[in-house]
A and B are shown apart, each in its own frame.
Chain A
Amino acid sequence: MKTTLLKLYFLICLGSVLIAGQDFILPIPKTLDIDKAKSKLGEKLFFDTSLSKNKTVSCFSCHDIFANGADKKKIAVGIDEKKGVVNTPTVFNAVFNFRQNWDGSARTLADQASGPITNPVEMGHNFVELISELNQTSYKEEFQTIYKDGITQKNIVDAIAEFQKNLITPNAPFDKYLRGDENAITQEQKEGYRLFKSKGCISCHNGVNVGGQLYSRFGMVQLMDDENLGLYNVTKEEEDKYYFKVPTLRNVELTAPYFHNGSIETLYDAVSIMLKYQVGRDTNPDEIHKIVEFLKSLNGESIYAK
């Protein structure tokens, strides 16, 4: 009697959660408030290879905003063909993430932008030299019209971050569906969404960015890879080992290879691994397939990528 009642209680909780009109995923807003002047300056800097030491690498080099906002490589490559540590995450919708970088080492977009510039395996430069270089160019006046104190590290990354607010991908078919267009996605995709929820993927991949709001262990049920220590690198706390930022699933169809080490090539494989190691659920290929279809409906429109 007691057990049945309890079961009933939990099922009701579960059911009510699934049936009630609670939000799981929110559509991306069509536009954000952007300072146009700063954004224009940031755009210029984004494409400018002179931010790197040997003037060969710009932000754009790894974050191809005309394609998927990232590259096709397993691990990022910087100046002089120096190999990085992790797979390049997409800049698309990065503005919605609660932290930047796989290990959450950057609080905001502006914080993140400093990293590659000074990272020896990425752009390998330093701000002191960079600022004096930029002051020899037309950048000096451009900065001074916007920023009282001219070219500083803070202002450089502020401009770049402001530009990145442009890099959102609204109007994904699934967003249209969320907005009420029943025909925006296929039946299979709707099924995939239901499975996405019932399997529990939704418990971490939710919100406006379908993820990007918390750290999770790379394999909550079972550890998948012990090479990269993730959040531990930042906090040095034992319990933070192997915790990484949950990535966004928006445009995930385009951003292979997957995971922080770029170890998985296909979306199908990625979903299978997640279900096994992260959620710990049995699934059959058909279900996985449907979930993959659903994920494909998360590709949005960018003002750059056509």
Chain B
Amino acid sequence: MLSKLLPRLDRLLLAIFPFFIMLLIASYMYVDNIQKRNTVYFNHNDKLNILIELNTYFNDFIHQNVKFIMFDEISSKLNDFETTLNFLMEDAERNNLDYGYKRNLKNIQKVFLNKKLQIERLKARKAFVYNALTYLLDSGDLGYTSLNKSLQNQIDTIRIVFANMLLDLDSLDKLTSKIDALENQTYNNGYINNFVKLTKAFIGHYTQINTTMHNIGNIDINIQLNGIKANLYDISQREKQESEYIVNVIFLIISVFSVLILFGTWRLYKTRKELVAFKTAVENSHSVVVMTDVNQKITFVNDTFEKVTGYSAKEAIGLKPSVLKSGMQDDKFYKEMAESIFAGRKWHGRFVNKKKNGEIFYEDATITPIIMDGEIDSYLAIKLDVTQLVNYSNELADLNSGLEKKVEDKIKLLRQKDVLIQQQSRLAALGEMISNIAHQWRQPLSSITIGASGIKYKKELGILELDDKFDKEMDNIIAGAEYLSQTIEDFRNFTKVDKSKKVFDINETIMKTYKIVENLYRVNSIKVEFDLSPQMRYKGIQSQFSQAVINILNNAKDALIAHNQDKEGRKIVITTVSQDSNFIIKIADSAGGVPEDIISKIFDPYFTTKHQSQGTGIGLFMAYEIVKNHFCGNIEVKNEPMIIDGKEYVGAVFYVYFPKVANNI
């Protein structure tokens, strides 16, 4: 499930990555803005402190009593206050500060302007009052010293009132009354006149100062400024909390993103490892690896490609794989391939391609479409150069067909040999038969010769009588001739190559066949017994049948001659029996049996236990072939005991099965 989710996660990450970047930028700007705002608040706070400081200075100026003042400082400080206040108001507007704050600043400005006006009024008056006082209290003045004691005392009293007034111990009224009293005394003294004039001016201006100070006294800018400061602090704190909250949220989001990115990076690393592994495999592969984009333009080929095709990677990239077409394959082939891979299915086949140098080569290729997120992204072909293989295969095919021909020829040859051998064996059998016939002919021929020559002798002696003896002698000669004729007839029957299938009697055929070779058996003291069941009629080529029987008989005969030195124990029993599905001909001998190690080979062609000059190994093979192929039967051989005159002998028994099914008798 996770593996299904992961590609989705990749895409999701990619999709929201721009948002993440935007978030980062936005949060950077936000934090920057917070800092700016902090700076603004700090700035305002500092400036407000400056205003408080300046205002304190103004208050000092206002409230101080007697002092020399250099007005440059006051003017510049008044300007400073105004400039600072203006700056605060503009800056508050610029930075969109709290409306209440801005309104408070405006109030301060109004109040300040009023205060400033009052201060201006105080300047000259304070200066004058200070001046006047220094003069009025100057006892060293010549004008004063030239006065009489009583006037001096009066002056001094007024001076004390000045002093007391400045210490708030006496009131201005007292001074006024005192100076009025002095004036009324109308002394014609320059100093006194001046003193009075000056004091009156002093009183006027001093009163004014008091009024002004009273006016100012109600203006308490400092309290307002401190109030504004506190207000500003509250606002900034509020903003600070807000921003802290937002920053926390941003931090949280960024953390989540960081985790996701870390995860993505880890995945990337994993993928990279895989990629490196596969890349290495592809680069070093013995197979040709080609990758194309979705439009079948080559995007990658490995080294093996370069070696095999002769095109370098640089040349190949951007081309289509069709550049390797040899033209030896029809369009249908390519169309099929294209259909398969366009449909997203893997395709496997063999290309006949052309190298850069024109050489033709064969490639077994698997082309796989690579599907990413449900769409074909690229095609991957892995190809193996099988040119060698194809060439070998072709050679082999050639060889094979040659071989087949050779084998055919050889078989033809062998068949010819077989035929030859069969013929030869047949000739050999014929030879034997002829010698048998010769045997058989000897006696009748000799009796004919004797009879005829007897007659001729008698004639020459003149004793020939045409009596019964003469008739008997002639009958003997005729019988002998008939016997000769019959033998030839039998022989002819045997040699007749009648290939037609006729119905023949098995027993009869066996007897006839035996008759031909009978002599050989008699000569070798071999007793032959017959146990024949009646009515064994079979359809087939008779000559073949007798051939098979002869071969088996001969085999038994030879075995007896070779094996049984004791002539008493030479016997062959021939039994025929009709069983359910087969006619069985059993030919048993007492020749000691077939040794176990060769019993399975005796029907093999060219297998013989006799010396080369005496046996061809064909006989039993031929018998087997005839029974098996011609009659569709079977021959088996078993070793069984035979009892002859009460003595037990071991011998071979040949069971020949002739199936009835093939026959319809």
Contact = CB atoms under 8 A, between A and B. Distances in A.
Nearest to A240: B121
Nearest to B160: A3
Interface in B86-108: none
A98 B71 contact: yes
Nearest to A25: B70
A14 B134 contact: yes
B191 interface: yes
Interface in A84-100: 98
Interface residues of B, number: 38
B75 A213 contact: yes
Majority DSSP secondary structure for residues of B touching A: helix
A186 interface: no
Contacts of A7: 137, 139, 159, 163
B67, B160, B201: most-surrounded residue (chain A CB, <10 A)? B201
Given A17-B68, A22-B68, A98-B71, A214 B127 contact: yes
Interface string B566-580: 000000000000000
A189 B416 CA distance: 168
Nearest to B135: A281
B71 A213 contact: yes
A17 B205 CA distance: 23
B194 A239 contact: no
B489 to A, nearest CB: 154
A279 interface: yes
Given A203-B131, A214-B123, A280-B135, A220 B205 contact: yes
B120 A215 contact: yes
Interface of A: 2-3, 6-7, 10-11, 13-14, 17, 22-24, 26, 98, 200, 202-204, 206-209, 213-217, 220-222, 235, 239-240, 243, 246, 279-282
Contacts of B190: 282
A270 B605 CA distance: 172
Given A23-B70, A221-B197, A216 B124 contact: yes
Contact of A3 (B68, B124, B163): B163
A208 B75 CA distance: 12
A207 B135 contact: no
Nearest to B130: A203
B68 A213 contact: no
A269 B338 CA distance: 121
Contacts, number: 102
Given A239-B208, A243-B124, A282 B194 contact: yes
A286 to B, nearest CB: 13
Nearest to B73: A207
Given A10-B163, A216-B123, 16 more contacts: A3-B163, A6-B163, A7-B137, A10-B134, A203-B69, A204-B71, A207-B70, A214-B120, A214-B123, A239-B208, A240-B121, A280-B135, A280-B194, A280-B197, A280-B198, A282-B190
B143 interface: yes
B201 A220 contact: yes
Contacts of B134: 10, 14, 200
A228 to B, nearest CB: 16
B195 to A, nearest CB: 9
Interface in B56-95: 66-72, 74-75
Nearest to A217: B124
Given A217-B124, A282-B194, A200 B75 contact: no
A282 B72 contact: no
B132 A204 contact: no
Contacts of B121: 215, 239-240
Contacts of A24: 68, 70
Given A203-B68, A215-B120, A216-B127, A280 B137 contact: no
A246 B143 CA distance: 29
